[in-house]
Chains A and B, each alone.
Chain A
Amino acid sequence: DGGITQSPKYLFRKEGQNVTLSCEQNLNHDAMYWYRQDPGQGLRLIYYSQIVNDFQKGDIAEGYSVSREKKESFPLTVTSAQKNPTAFYLCASSPRNGPSQYSPLHFGNGTRLTVT
């Protein structure tokens, strides 16, 4: 079955450490996205990529970095520069032209990151 795999489901890190969240999709989608969700908040866009080797900053990119070396993979690194990294992180994908009624955003199951 096609889908998006995020791993791990729960991640714990000490403050000051960089951490990389994995996102893999087998939907053959060109576009991939990273969102952050805090309690009682909606989804805020961190980074997105519409094609391999290219990506754009979203609304809250500071303290994060990404790479897109393969179509299937879009890992997110939370750096020590991110002031409040504890959150629920969601990876999503869509066809290159963006989400539509015929192909909405497909979400992974998320990674809950806790930094202490």
Chain B
Amino acid sequence: QKEVEQNSGPLSVPEGAIASLNCTYSDRGSQSFFWYRQYSGKSPELIMFIYSNGDKEDGRFTAQLNKASQYVSLLIRDSQPSDSATYLCASQGGYSTLTFGKGTMLLVSP
């Protein structure tokens, strides 16, 4: 069974620091990976997508993928209180549906 594992947190960081969120996956056939941000009571919104080994940067966000270690991470630089949310990691094999992790709660204190 496909599984995506995340530390539930909360991960607490001060404003301006780098937040590092991690995710591991069990299915070696997974090809693409998504990071979603979800505010309490709201629907998830996509913030990063990655399918190649290495780093992908978009503004303050950097996604990192290591397929050999089956590991995906999300770095948030210059963390802001508005970044406080739950971050969901999801894997996808080919054109199939997404498998979501349970999410990591991030708390950024002013």
Contacts and interface: CB of A to CB of B under 8 A. Distances in A.
B34 A41 contact: no
Contacts of B101: 42
B32 interface: yes
Contacts of B34: 99, 104-105
Nearest to A56: B97
Interface residues of B, number: 26
Contacts of B49: 100-101, 104
Contacts of B90: 43
B103 A42 contact: yes
Contacts of B44: 43, 90, 105, 107
A99 B98 CA distance: 8
A90 B43 contact: yes
Nearest to A41: B102
Interface string A85-116: 00000100000011111001101111010000
Given A41-B102, A42-B103, A98-B97, A105 B88 contact: no
Contacts, number: 57
A35 B103 CA distance: 15
Given A42-B102, A43-B88, A99-B34, A104 B46 contact: yes
A41 B104 CA distance: 10
Given A33-B97, A40-B8, A107-B44, A98 B51 contact: no
Nearest to B2: A59
Nearest to A44: B100
Given A41-B103, A108-B43, 10 more contacts: A42-B88, A45-B97, A97-B95, A98-B92, A99-B34, A99-B92, A104-B34, A105-B34, A107-B44, A110-B43
21 contacts: A33-B97, A41-B103, A42-B4, A42-B88, A42-B101, A43-B98, A45-B97, A45-B99, A48-B97, A58-B97, A99-B98, A100-B32, A101-B32, A104-B49, A105-B34, A105-B46, A107-B43, A107-B44, A108-B43, A109-B42, A110-B42
Interface of A: 33, 35, 40-45, 48, 58, 90, 97-101, 104-105, 107-110, 112
